[in-house]
Structure 1
Amino acid sequence: MRRIGIIGVGEIGRAIVLGLRHGGDTSTEVFLSPRGARTAAELAEHHAGVRVCASNQEVVDRAELVIIAVRRPDRHEALAGLRVPGDRIVVNVMAGVGHDDLRRTLGTDAPLVRAIPLPAIRERRCVTVVHPAHPEVNSLFERLGGVLPVADEAAFTVFSALTGTLTTHYAYLAALTAWAADHGIAADDAERYVRDLFQGVGRALHDQTRSLRQLAADHETPGGSNERVRTTWFDAANAAALTTVLDDLLAELR
């Protein structure tokens, strides 16, 4: 796919552009909507072959594949009156907006594909879930770190709910840092140590020969500190609370 358009240049739109240009790759022309004007202008200034269009319609007219990355509440305003020919491919990265909803909004017969690109695609380091599989879309996200096609929208929505846990992980690390600071450790030192500690966890996750449960077992000693924290803090009640909030989020996304 040689010409890609992005409508809505927020964090994910920016990550897609950076992923496309990672390593100096300029094989794809990128057309950006004027939404998120400051970010779009910055990307166009610093990356060859990235252009800001005068309107969302111009993005569609110039691109072969159009990524819609506006916020869910803004979609009707952003997409109103947009004419999308049937020979375009539309990739929908808006959480909680299904195929039927978007097709009604756009009034197009163009192929629609849902996707969950995450910020790490800027470095081509994260798999992207898509539904349905489409050769051009699969190829795009394979290039940006990997693609995971799923069978139906129900499965897709489960993966979408999982992404809702991302900032909780950051908040957990911030809580650990704050706890150490409360016990007399300099805040910068505490944060440096916590970052390095969990970057090691991230590196261990690349070892796909071991399941997540096996990785946990391999990092703790019976009766040791890790087992103590896991069994006393992440207990049955906390596990049930996590299940409940994920179930509620899943119901909302459906």
Structure 2
Amino acid sequence: MTTYGVLGVGSIATAIVTGLCDGVPEPPVVVLSPRNAARAAELAARFPSVRVAADNQAVVDAGDVVLVCLRPADAAGVLDGLRFRTRHAVVSAVAGLSVGRLAELVAPATDIARSIPLPAVATRDSVTPVQPATPAVTEIFGRLGGSLEVRDETAYEAVGAASATVAAYFRYLGTISGWLTERGVPGAEARRYVADTFAALSAELGTPGADFDALARAHATPGGLNEQLARDLDEAGVYAAVRAGLDAVLVRTGPR
């Protein structure tokens, strides 16, 4: 069975390890870097097939597939100091780290791919964009909900930028629940109401070929309240600001 070495144990790495091991009859062996010691120890205590290595080189030495889950600012410096071998397959989850630059850092390894995993891989409910669709990257994300190859590099970078919208989404929901609380609805009840309202809409997103414009129209009765708020946000430039924000993220995360 494949042994996975994980460099960097942040939230995405934690989600990946959880998805690989939680409730799985035969979970793979996972070797974690010790950098985030508390989180690594917690995962090792939770899952019998997970252990913490002495250092990053020990992670690489133990792994058949090395998952790079380092922060973009740290990735090049960490990888440049490690010794990879031709036998290694490398899967990166580092934003903006191009396949070409990754190949330079992990040479002589040549089995290299990038990925954009989201927290939902922890419950194996998320399809993960990858480039290119190597056997190693499709195998690991096949365990975690599936993979989606995005062959064009420009399109791949745009998908990566779009993944930065999650925090803004939750702040949007938080703004609604906060507004309700300011008007007398207890905080816990306001949050539960907003969470239930939007969770109920998830079934509409699960249909093949979900059409967001059509869904918006379906929920905006002419002259109704949904139509009014959508129009007011449009006139206030909210949707234009979303596009501008995505452009700014794309500039920041473009390939290096």
TM-score normalised to structure 1 length: 0.94
Matches within 5 A, 1:1-254: 2-208=2-208, 210-235=210-235, 237-254=237-254
**Cα separation, 1, equivalents of 2:110 and 2:100:** 13
Superposed displacement of residue 237, structure 1? 2.6
Whichever residue aligns with residue 94 of structure 1, its letter is V
Superposed displacement of residue 117, structure 1? 0.5
C-alpha contact (below 8 Å) 1:125/1:145 kept by paired residues: yes
- CA deviations on 1:188-243 (whole Å, 9 max, x unpaired) are 11111011111112232112254222222222311111111111113373222222
Superposed displacement of residue 139, structure 1? 2.1
**Cα separation, 1, equivalents of 2:209 and 2:110:** 40
**Cα separation, 1, equivalents of 2:132 and 2:193:** 42
Whichever residue aligns with residue 150 of structure 2, its letter is V
Percent identity of paired positions between Structure 1 and Structure 2: 38
C-alpha contact (below 8 Å) 2:112/2:134 kept by paired residues: no
- CA deviations on 1:163-207 (whole Å, 9 max, x unpaired) are 111100000011111111111111111111011111112232112
- CA deviations on 1:74-123 (whole Å, 9 max, x unpaired) are 22342242011011110110111112222333343322101001111000
In structure 1, runs of 5+ residues without a counterpart are none
**Cα separation, 2, equivalents of 1:112 and 1:223:** 53
Distance 1:232 1:113, change over 3 A: same
TM-score normalised to structure 2 length: 0.93
Superposed displacement of residue 28, structure 1? 1.2
Whichever residue aligns with residue 250 of structure 1, its letter is L
Of the structure 1 ranges 146-155 and 6-15, higher mean CA displacement relative to structure 2 is found in: 146-155
Whichever residue aligns with residue 179 of structure 1, its letter is W
**Cα separation, 2, equivalents of 1:24 and 1:151:** 31
Whichever residue aligns with residue 64 of structure 2, its letter is E
Whichever residue aligns with residue 228 of structure 1, its letter is Q
Aligned Cα RMSD in Å? 1.6
In structure 2, runs of 5+ residues without a counterpart are none
Q: Secondary structure at the match of 1:9?
A: coil
Whichever residue aligns with residue 154 of structure 2, its letter is A
- CA deviations on 1:118-144 (whole Å, 9 max, x unpaired) are 111000001100001112211221220
Superposed displacement of residue 162, structure 1? 0.0
Q: How many residues align?
A: 254
Distance 1:76 1:15, change over 3 A: same
**Cα separation, 2, equivalents of 1:76 and 1:240:** 34
**Cα separation, 2, equivalents of 1:23 and 1:43:** 14
Whichever residue aligns with residue 158 of structure 1, its letter is A
**Cα separation, 2, equivalents of 1:122 and 1:155:** 25
**Cα separation, 1, equivalents of 2:253 and 2:27:** 35
**Cα separation, 1, equivalents of 2:234 and 2:208:** 24
